[in-house]
Structure 1
C-alpha cells in the first residue's frame, strides 16, 4: 500500500483517505484511485425503489435543469444486481424487464460502472446481471437505483478504491435521485438538483401499495409539461420541516403534495382517476411517485393495504404490495453464484 505521504500531489483527499492512493497525473486532471484492500470477484446488491414524500419544483436553470425540494424514503421493492469482474469493458444482461430499457451503453447502471472504472484506472472490467422488479418509467427511481447499486458494486470489486465523497460526486452526475440512493440513508431531505442531502430518521416501516397503470411517463416530458404551465414560476414560500413532521406517515401526509401531479394529471386524466381511487381507500399517505406514472399509498396495517388492493382490483392497473423501509439498505455482499 502506498502511504498518503508518498503521493506527490499531497492533495487534501489523499490525506483524508490514507488507505487509498490518488493516481492523478495532475491536480487539475481527473483523479484515479487505487487500493490495496482485498476485493471479491463477484458481488450482489439490492437496488431499492424510492418514494418522494413531497416534491416541489422551484425553478428552471438556464442549463435546463430544475431545482427541486423533496424528501426521499425507500421501499422494500428492489431490483437485484450481480456484478462480476471481467477482463475489460462493461456488459449488461437483463432479466424481468417488461419495457425496452434502451441501448446498453445508455443504461444508467452501465454508465455508473464506467464512471467507477475510469476513476480507478480501468484495471479490470465488469459483467452486470440485472434482475428488474421495479417498474420502468413509473417514478420509483428504478434506473437511478440500479446506477447507485452499480457504483457501490463496482467500487467493492475494486477494494472500495474510490472514496465515499468522490463516489457521491459521480452519483450526482448520473441523475437527481442517484446520490440519495447511493448514500446508504433510508430517508433524506434533498434540494438543489437532488444532490444536497440531509438524512433524517425514517418513519416506521409500514405496508405500502403501488399502483402501476399501463401508460408510462418520461421525466423530461413531465418537466416540459410543468414548464409549459409555469413559464415564469412565482417565488415559493418556505417549507418548515422538523423531526415531528417527518416522524409519522400521518404528519408526512400533511407536508405538501407533488408538483408533478397537476401537469401529469392534466395530460393523463386516467392517472388522476387512479389517484382519487387510491385516496378513497383511506391510506395514511398517497402521492404520485416522482414524475409518474405509478401512484403509491401507505397504510396502517397489512389488512388495510390488502383491503385497498381488493377494492382497486388489477383490471386497469398492476398492484405491488410492499413495505416502506426504516433501516438502511444492505451494501454489496460477496456472491459465489
Structure 2
C-alpha cells in the first residue's frame, strides 16, 4: 500500500508514520509537511532511513505540490492543520488557508488521481461546548473559535466531495491528545516543560474546563482501523475515556513533576473557552472494535518521563518560541 500522510512531521502525524512503518511491512509512506513551527523532522528520526519512507516539504494548499505527491497514492491520511486555539484567536488567516483551502486542494487532487480512500482527521472542537452528556456523530456542528470553525469547514468540504463527487472519504474526530513529541505549546507539554525548568504554569480561569484525554498511540491505532475498515462517508469519534477538569489535570502534573501549587499562575480565561467536550465513541467501538488501551495514569507518567529524558528535543523549540514572543 502507498499512503500519503500530510502533516506527518507533526505530533500525531509522526506517530502514525512511525507506527505504520513499524507494523505494516511493505507499506510505502510519503510524508508531506510544510515544516512550520510545530512540524519537526526530528519527530521522524526513529524511522529516518527506512526504505519505505519518503519526505516532501511543501504546502497542502499548493496545487502543484498536491498533484505531485498525490499521484500514485492508494490512500491519504490528512493530519496537516493549524491547531492552536490561542493562535487562531490572534489571527485566523493561517487557519483558513491551511485547514480549509489546504483540505480542498488535497480533495481535488485525490479526485483527479483516483485515490482509493481519504481519511480526514478532525477534532471534537467542531461541536462547540456541551455541559452534560456526549455528542454523537450526528450532532450538528457549532464551533465557537476560529480554529474549530476552520476544521468544521474542512469536515463539510470532505463530506461534500463524498456525497456529490463520489470520493471515498472517512472523517475521524478525536478528543484531546497527549504523549511524546507534542509541541510544547499545548497544555500537558507546556506545563511539564515549564515545571522541569522551575517555571510557573498558566491556569486559565478557575480551571473548571473539562476535557477527555486520549493517548496519541490509541488515536493512531483507531485511525488505522478507520482507514482499513471504516465505512465511506461516515464520521467516527475517537476518545480516551479519561475526562478531567483542567484543575484536576494540573494537580496530576504538579505531582508527577514534584512541584507545588505555588508554581501555578491563575490567568484570565481566554475568549470563547469551551467549558466541556465529550464524545460518544460507541459507534467505533461497535463497528470497528476500538477501545482505548493506554490508561491515563500510565500514559501521563510515560509522557512526563519522555520530556524529562528528551530535553534536547524540546528545549530548542521552547526557547525559540520564547525568543519570538519577546520580540
Return the index of the structure with the highest Cα Rg: 1
Structure with larger RCO (C-alpha < 8 A, sep 6+): 1
Larger strand share, 1 or 2? 1
- Classify the TM-score, shorter chain: under 0.3
Would you tell me which structure has more helix in proportion to its own residues? Answer: 2
